[in-house]
Amino acid sequence: MNPLPFQLLAERLKQRRWMLATAESCTGGLIASRCTDLAGSSTWFDRGFVTYSNVSKHQMLGVPEAMLAQHGAVSEPVAKAMALGAVYRSTAAISVAVTGVAGPSGGSPEKPVGTVWLAWCINGCVHTELMHFSGNRDQIREATTSHAIDGLLKRIPPSHEALA
């Protein structure tokens, strides 16, 4: 994976003195791992929640059990709740959350393999996006990780734009 987007993200977060938290299901901590591959990431990366099971989503991030039962783990409401939970249960100002079906099994007609909900929480506002990635398990996880970071970069402009 190209380290440049992670370096850009690091610069933008350090400029603002913001910390990032991740809430990951289908990527199993891959986003957090890529962030912490950079030396000095403790200045902008607070923590990562790997919440693979529904129980962990509820216990660690506060996702309501009723929401999980009604919508399923791979859903927009759960992705939003994960993003909010990551901010509320950390010292981070922003978060990214991902929940999806990486495969090769686990898909359904309604949520086939490659279905991923992403959510970004910035300044208390949550933005979501539904993606359908193709490929094998590793490719889907890599695509999710890239899209999660790209989504942060789109939502956190370089500081000179933020001040203009």
Residue 151 clears pLDDT 90, i.e. is over it: yes
Q: Contact, 161 vs 107, CB < 8 A?
A: no
Q: 39 Cβ partners below 8 Å, 6+ apart? A: none
Q: Please tell me the distance from the alpha carbon of residue 38 to that of residue 88, in angstroms, as a whole number.
A: 25
Task: Give the pLDDT band of residue 162 (cuts 50, 70, 90).
Answer: very low
Residue 164 clears pLDDT 80, i.e. is over it: no
Superfamily covering domain 4-158: CinA-like (3.90.950.20)
User: How confident is the model at residue 163, as a pLDDT?
Assistant: 44
Question: How many residues are recorded in the chain?
Answer: 164
User: How confident is the model at residue 160, as a pLDDT?
Assistant: 65
pTM: 0.95
Average pLDDT for residues 134-145, to the nearest whole number? 98
Task: Give the pLDDT band of residue 126 (cuts 50, 70, 90).
Answer: very high
Residue 80 clears pLDDT 80, i.e. is over it: yes
